[in-house]
């Protein structure tokens, strides 16, 4: 049994067979052979080695024509590894003694070598791991060709292990087959983690080397509450997990039983709890969990899921569908937030990605939209048309300057004028607001009050930009704390200044759905929460436990503390006072 520690990003437990997803979205089949097939597999292995060597030599020729002999040592090293006697002995032993099919034997053997390289602590050998992975891919290609098992064709339930997963891969998994996942890299508020929570897929990220430490076919437990992956658990551990799964289920069922009770404090203050979504289809879940609208609709997922560049009709269809499901409840359609960890690749499309060195600080979201007005105008037209159908607001992400809001308002006015000429209905009073997620906006919020109908605080990005800690990078996860005093003070500033000007504020970062912060945010004056759908019942329940006086006392005390650690310890303690069973996240 082996226990690996990472970052818990999506609660719940998954126990099942591990499947390693390689970069080509395929998994290595765990296939066994019978005694008479042994020599055939040995021959397949030798043939694959020869084919892989020939492929490398061919590649070497092409590369040296382009860049000269500079890269030759890399190719020579790969050919040498492929001829390595200990590697051959290892693979042949697994075929002959364990009756592994050649591809399974190759994969397990190379992963054993990778682990051994890592254990030496020698940085030169550790760097050679990419070479071993490259060789593994080449051998699997030679052995399986097109026959690699595709994740889309899985016929059983698995726990996926991968180096990394993109948000769109996570959104596309068949939820019936993928019961949990774990990755080497990633952070708490990266979009992959956000999608996992929304889809209720237990997940742990930032494990470092899970995708190489574990082999396809191992039994694994993903503990999304504590951020642990257990490989080949013993019976005692399995029993403990079976019990925890049962308790977690009871806890969740109890919450769901109260989902339709409103979020009203003990002294009668009504709070709204809406949801964050990536796709219109999620609205069904939002309503099932007692959500009171959509506080954030991340429309860029329309691009991430699409094979072609979405046109105005595709935008409009998606919004029309969302509005038909949400009815008269409010829905904040956020304009495209492409860039950072969300890219869209379609050949030479107008929305092809810019190759930036630092995309989180680059041409992302509104910067991208203003740079490509033709792309943006399609979306604005669709949102304006949709505004005639329901309670629609338009929300702009990643604003850092007032000029950006002014430019968007100008574009909206032009689009509305055109729609009026064409006799197409729209709501001329559609509220237009912004995400407060860049420090410059939070610090000068009063200036934005003149240009915005509402604000929504995006603590996922606000935290990464204030603390200069990439939200998707596991190496700085220990520096990424929404509970840092600087963030708490900025949120207070935004809430106070906006209240003076009568501008409504919601908070749609993951902090709003973190039980530890609910009472604190209420005490600061937040009345609109927007959270991942499965978290709605818990947030509503916590609000029902407190009075505003108590909540204010909690927020005053939290603001007086000097470090994230003190803040978190205090707020977690407060949450447990109200919800003694709350020990799951």
Q: What is the torsional sign of CA 517, 518, 524, 525? A: positive
Between 322 and 338, CB nearer to Mg ion: 338
Report the residue number whose CB is nearest to Mg ion: 461
Secondary structure of 244-260 in HEC code, one letter for each residue: HHHHHHHHHHHHHHCCC
Q: Give, as ranges, the residues between 437 and 456 that touch ligand PEP (CB under 6 A).
A: 437
Between 462 and 524, CB nearer to Mg ion: 462
Number of residues that this document lists for the chain: 585
Q: What is the DSSP string of 216-275?
A: TT-EEEEETTTTEEEES--HHHHHHHHHHHHHHHHHHHHHHHTTTS--B-TT--B-EEEE
Sketch the per residue contact string, 328 through 357, with ligand PEP: x for CB under 6 A, - otherwise: ---------x--------------------
Residue from 44, 298, 393, 484 touching ligand PEP (CB under 6 A): that is: 298
Residue 459 interacts with ligand PEP (CB under 6 A)?
yes
Map residue 100 onto helix, strand or coil.
strand
Say if residue 307 is exposed, middle or buried (CB neighbours under 10 Å; 0-12, 13-18, 19+): exposed
Interacting residue ranges for Mg ion, rule: CB under 5 A: 437, 458, 461
- Closest separation in Å from C-beta 9 to Mg ion: 16
Between 7 and 365, CB nearer to Mg ion: 365
Q: How far is CA 2 from CA 227, 228, 232, 547, in A?
A: 14, 10, 7, 46
Q: What is the torsional sign of CA 555, 559, 563, 564? A: positive
Question: Tokens at residue 264, please?
Answer: 């009203």
Between 142 and 394, CB nearer to ligand PEP: 394
Per the CB < 8 A criterion, the answer to whether 171 and 278 are in contact is yes
Sketch the per residue contact string, 163 through 202, with ligand PEP: x for CB under 6 A, - otherwise: -------------------------------x--------
Interacting residues of 377 by C-beta distance below 8 A, sequence separation 6+: 411, 415
Between 283 and 507, CB nearer to ligand PEP: 507
- For residues 550 and 557, what is the distance between their CA atoms, to the nearest angstrom? 11
298 binds, among Mg ion, ligand PEP, none (CB under 5 to 8 A by kind): ligand PEP
Report the residue number whose CB is nearest to ligand PEP: 458
Between 216 and 459, CB nearer to ligand PEP: 459
Q: What is the DSSP string of 433-458?
A: EEEE-SHHHHHTHHHHHTT-S-EEE-
Residue with tokens 């609000």: 543
Residue from 509, 523, 533, 534 touching ligand PEP (CB under 6 A): that is: 509
- Closest separation in Å from C-beta 363 to ligand PEP: 15
- Closest separation in Å from C-beta 302 to ligand PEP: 14
**Maximum CA pair distance of the chain?**
82
- Closest separation in Å from C-beta 458 to ligand PEP: 3
Per the CB < 8 A criterion, the answer to whether 546 and 578 are in contact is yes
- Closest separation in Å from C-beta 531 to ligand PEP: 10
Map residue 7 onto helix, strand or coil.
strand
The residue from 369, 384, 452, 508 that is catalytic is: 508
Output the CA angle 133-137-143, nearest 5 degrees: 140
Map residue 183 onto helix, strand or coil.
strand
- Closest separation in Å from C-beta 260 to ligand PEP: 25
Between 205 and 399, CB nearer to Mg ion: 399
- Closest separation in Å from C-beta 335 to ligand PEP: 12
- Closest separation in Å from C-beta 67 to ligand PEP: 39
The residue from 191, 363, 384, 452 that is catalytic is: 191
Name the H helices within 18-121. 38-67, 72-82, 85-98, 102-119
Residue from 283, 408, 508, 535 touching ligand PEP (CB under 6 A): that is: 508
Count CB neighbours of 87 within 10 A.
19
Per the CB < 8 A criterion, the answer to whether 503 and 483 are in contact is no
- Closest separation in Å from C-beta 443 to Mg ion: 17
Residue 318 belongs to what H/E stretch?
A: helix 312-326
Residue from 60, 460, 506, 532 touching ligand PEP (CB under 6 A): that is: 460
Q: Angle, nearest 10°, between helix axes 548-560 and 485-501?
A: 130
Between 140 and 508, CB nearer to Mg ion: 508
Active site residue 508: yes
Q: Which residues is 222 bridged to in the sheet?
A: 14, 229
- Closest separation in Å from C-beta 509 to Mg ion: 7
509 binds, among Mg ion, ligand PEP, none (CB under 5 to 8 A by kind): ligand PEP
Residue 337 belongs to what H/E stretch?
A: none
497 binds, among Mg ion, ligand PEP, none (CB under 5 to 8 A by kind): none
Between 189 and 216, CB nearer to ligand PEP: 189
Between 22 and 437, CB nearer to ligand PEP: 437
459 binds, among Mg ion, ligand PEP, none (CB under 5 to 8 A by kind): ligand PEP
Q: How far is CA 551 from CA 157, 341, 456, 584, in A?
A: 44, 35, 21, 22
Active site residue 191: yes
Residues with catalytic annotation? Answer: 191, 508
The residues binding ligand PEP (CB under 6 A) are 194, 296, 298, 337, 437, 458-461, 508-509
């Amino acid at each position: 049994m082996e226990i690996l520690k990472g970052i818990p990003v999506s609660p719940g437990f998954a126990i099942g067979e591990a499947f390693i997803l390689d970069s080509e979205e395929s998994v290595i089949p765990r296939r066994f052979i019978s005694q008479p097939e042994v020599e055939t597999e040995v021959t397949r292995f030798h043939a694959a080695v020869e084919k892989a060597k020939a492929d490398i030599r061919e590649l070497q020729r092409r590369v040296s024509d382009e860049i000269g002999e500079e890269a030759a040592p890399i190719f020579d090293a790969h050919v040498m590894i492929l001829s390595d006697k200990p590697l051959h002995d290892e693979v042949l032993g697994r075929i002959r003694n364990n009756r592994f099919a050649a591809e399974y034997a190759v994969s397990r053997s190379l992963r054993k070598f990778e682990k051994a390289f890592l254990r030496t602590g020698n940085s030169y050998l550790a760097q050679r791991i990419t070479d071993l992975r490259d060789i593994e891919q080449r051998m699997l290609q030679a052995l399986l060709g097109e026959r690699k098992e595709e994740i889309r064709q899985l016929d059983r339930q698995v726990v996926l292990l991968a180096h990394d997963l993109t948000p769109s891969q996570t959104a596309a998994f068949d939820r019936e087959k993928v019961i949990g996942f774990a990755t080497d890299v990633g952070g708490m508020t990266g979009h992959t983690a956000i999608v996992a929570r929304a889809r209720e897929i237990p997940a742990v990220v930032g494990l470092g080397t899970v995708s190489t430490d574990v082999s396809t076919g191992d039994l694994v437990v993903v503990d999304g509450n504590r951020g642990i992956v257990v490989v080949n658990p013993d019976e005692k551990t399995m029993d403990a997990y079976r019990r925890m799964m049962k308790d977690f289920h009871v806890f969740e069922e109890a919450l769901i039983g109260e989902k339709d009770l409103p979020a009203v404090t003990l002294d009668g203050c009504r709070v709204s709890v809406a949801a964050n979504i990536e796709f219109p289809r999620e609205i069904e879940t939002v309503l099932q969990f007692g959500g009171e609208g959509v506080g954030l609709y991340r429309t860029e997922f329309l691009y991430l899921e699409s094979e072609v560049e979405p046109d105005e009709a595709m935008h409009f269809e998606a919004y029309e569908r969302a509005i038909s499901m949400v009815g008269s409840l409010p829905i904040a359609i956020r304009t495209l937030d492409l860039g950072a960890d969300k890219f869209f690749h379609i050949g030479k499309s107008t929305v092809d990605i810019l190759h930036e060195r630092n995309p989180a600080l680059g041409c992302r979201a509104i910067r991208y939209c203003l740079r490509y007005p033709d792309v943006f105008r399609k979306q604005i037209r669709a949102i304006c048309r949709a505004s005639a159908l329901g309670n629609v607001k338009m929300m702009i992400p990643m604003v850092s300057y007032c000029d950006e809001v002014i430019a968007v308002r100008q574009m909206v006015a032009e689009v509305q004028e055109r729609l009026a000429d064409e006799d197409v209905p729209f709501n001329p009073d559609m509220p237009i607001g912004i995400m407060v997620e860049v420090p410059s906006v939070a610090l000068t919020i009063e200036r934005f009050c003149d240009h915005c109908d509402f604000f929504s605080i995006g603590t996922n990005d606000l935290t990464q930009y204030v603390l200069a800690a990439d939200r998707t990078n596991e190496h700085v996860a220990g520096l990424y704390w929404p509970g840092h005093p600087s963030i708490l003070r900025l949120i207070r500033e935004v809430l106070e200044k906006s209240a003076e000007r009568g501008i409504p504020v919601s908070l749609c970062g993951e902090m709003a759905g973190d039980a530890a912060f609910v009472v604190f945010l209420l005490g600061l004056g937040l009345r609109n929460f927007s959270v991942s759908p499965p978290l709605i019942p818990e947030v509503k329940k916590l609000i029902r436990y407190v009075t505003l006086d108590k909540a204010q006392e909690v927020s005053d005390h939290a603001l007086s503390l000097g470090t994230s650690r003190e803040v978190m310890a205090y707020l977690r303690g407060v949450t447990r006072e109200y919800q003694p069973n709350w020990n799951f996240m």
